[in-house]
């Protein structure tokens, strides 16, 4: 693994690598990438049905990187394999997942549930035209989106958690505010979409770090320990806590049992990556590089679920207002996303 592509001791270190990243991604060659074929046939009867509901949150800390493409495509793949899937547009500021699924905006949205114009979240699950696939469209009214109160968020997260489906996908917004990170942490399987550009890599790294701290904060028992974690969230804190390793040590020094417990909880944070819009052979190194950096500097193990090529068919499908995975399933992008869906299926059956 080449040091320098991503390596850095902290976000600051990562930022200082940005020029090298830019250089690495601008010296380009023509791509000829073989996409492995999908072995699992799209047959609902071919693989056993999942035992319990899985929540998959799709984030990345940045806009325009392929979160909605990934969410809609993975959802379609699993629905076509007979799983009951609900897609939730949890991008409260810029809801647009419905545009990846068809021409018409749904009549009801998350805003109707948040503002209690309907009594249950099930009432805002709209049909998509794809059997087994439902959609909860995002809140469009500005007031709802930007003023989500704590109790509204808690109610929303609880209801989403209890939707009756095999898979619930959350398409979450850009940024690293707690409202966004808390959607990501609702999932057993957090999926991070990253494109091979310095700004995306940096945002994803920050997003992961903040999500990890928030995960530890939610796991912590007692205000004293939470206060230490809150200090760590301030990157320039006076206690010198710069990394999750420093944080776990600081907690252990304060309370050994709490430190041990948090270390256990830390190991349950296992997000996955989709590297999207790859164009050049060196882009294929980004997944392993990010995994290495996250392991070394954050102590987080991440798996790369898929590497998805840049292909014009994606915007062609969007221009035609058709779900990408229905019109171009055999394209390279389609095959890579199908393969990612198969991996998701097999990991949830473990």
Q: Are 58 and 66 in contact (CB under 8 A)?
A: no
The whole-angstrom separation of Cα 129 and Cα 119 is 24
Residue 166 binding partner per list Mg ion, ligand ATP, none, with a CB distance cut-off of 5 to 8 Å that depends on partner kind: none
CA distance 88 to 125: 9
Q: Which of 69, 124, 250, 293 binds ligand ATP (CB under 6 A)?
A: 69
310 binds ligand ATP (CB under 6 A): yes
Q: What does 275 bind: ligand ATP, Mg ion, none (CB cut-off 5 to 8 Å by kind)? A: none
Q: Which is nearer to Mg ion, 13 or 94 (CB)?
A: 94
69: Cβ contacts below 8 Å, ≥ 6 apart = 100, 276, 314, 324, 337
**Candidates 17-25, 123-131, 135-143, 314-322; binding stretch for ligand ATP (CB under 6 A):** 314-322
Q: Does 174 bind ligand ATP (CB under 6 A)?
A: yes
Site membership for ligand ATP, residue 314 (CB under 6 A): yes
At residue 57, the 3 state secondary structure works out as strand
Q: Which residues are near Mg ion by CB under 5 A?
A: 67-68
**Of 137 and 277, which CB lies nearer to ligand ATP in the complex structure?**
277
| 170: alpha, beta or left? (left if phi > 0; alpha if psi -120 to 50) | beta
Q: Of residues 206-265, which lie at the interface with ligand ATP (CB under 6 A)? A: none
The beta strands (E) that lie in 91-212 are given as 126-127, 133-136, 167-172, 189-194
65 near ligand ATP, rule: CB under 6 A: yes
DSSP states along 224-261: HHHHHHHHHHSTT-TT---SHHHHHHHHHHH-HHHHHH
Q: Which does 307 bind (CB under 5 to 8 A by kind): ligand ATP, Mg ion, none?
A: none
Q: Which is nearer to ligand ATP, 88 or 232 (CB)?
A: 88
Minimum CB distance to ligand ATP, residue 64 (Å): 4
3-state SS assignment for residue 86: strand
What residue is closest to Mg ion based on CB? 68
Closer residue to ligand ATP, CB minimum distance, 57 or 65: 65
Q: Which long-range contacts (CB under 8 A, 24 or more apart) does 238-242 make?
A: 242/9, 242/10
- The residues of the shown chain that bind ligand ATP, judged by CB under 6 A, are 63-69, 91, 94, 96, 174, 276-277, 308, 310-311, 314-315, 318, 333
């Amino acid at each position: 693994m080449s040091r320098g592509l991503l390596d850095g001791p902290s976000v600051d270190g990562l930022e200082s690598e940005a020029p090298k990243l830019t250089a690495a991604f601008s010296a380009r060659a023509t791509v000829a990438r073989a996409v492995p074929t999908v072995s699992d046939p799209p047959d609902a009867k071919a693989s056993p049905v999942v035992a319990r509901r899985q929540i998959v949150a799709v984030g990345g800390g940045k806009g325009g990187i392929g979160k909605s493409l990934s969410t809609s495509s993975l959802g379609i793949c699993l629905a076509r394999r007979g799983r009951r899937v609900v897609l939730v547009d949890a991008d409260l500021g810029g809801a647009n997942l419905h545009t990846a699924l068809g021409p018409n905006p749904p009549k009801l949205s998350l805003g109707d549930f948040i503002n209690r114009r309907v009594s249950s979240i099930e009432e805002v699950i709209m049909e998509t035209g794809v059997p087994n696939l439902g959609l909860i469209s995002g809140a469009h009214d500005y007031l709802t989106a930007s003023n989500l109160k704590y109790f509204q968020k808690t109610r929303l997260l609880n209801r989403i958690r209890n939707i009756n489906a095999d898979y619930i996908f959350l398409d979450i917004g850009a940024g690293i505010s707690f409202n966004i990170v808390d959607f990501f942490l609702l999932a057993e399987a957090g999926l991070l979409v990253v494109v091979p550009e310095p700004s995306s890599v940096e945002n994803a790294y920050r997003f992961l770090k903040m999500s990890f701290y928030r995960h530890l904060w939610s796991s912590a028992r007692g205000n004293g320990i939470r206060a230490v974690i809150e200090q760590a969230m301030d990157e320039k804190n006076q206690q010198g806590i710069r990394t999750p390793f420093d944080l776990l040590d600081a907690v252990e020094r304060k309370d050994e049992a709490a430190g041990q417990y948090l270390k256990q909880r830390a190991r349950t944070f296992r997000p996955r990556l989709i590297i999207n819009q790859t164009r050049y052979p060196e882009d294929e190194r980004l997944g392993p590089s990010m995994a290495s950096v996250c392991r070394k500097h954050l102590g987080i193990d991440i798996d790369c679920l898929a590497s998805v090529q840049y292909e014009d068919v994606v915007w062609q499908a969007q221009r035609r207002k058709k779900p990408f995975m229905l019109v171009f399933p055999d394209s390279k992008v389609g095959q890579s996303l199908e393969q990612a869906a198969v991996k998701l299926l097999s990991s949830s059956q473990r």
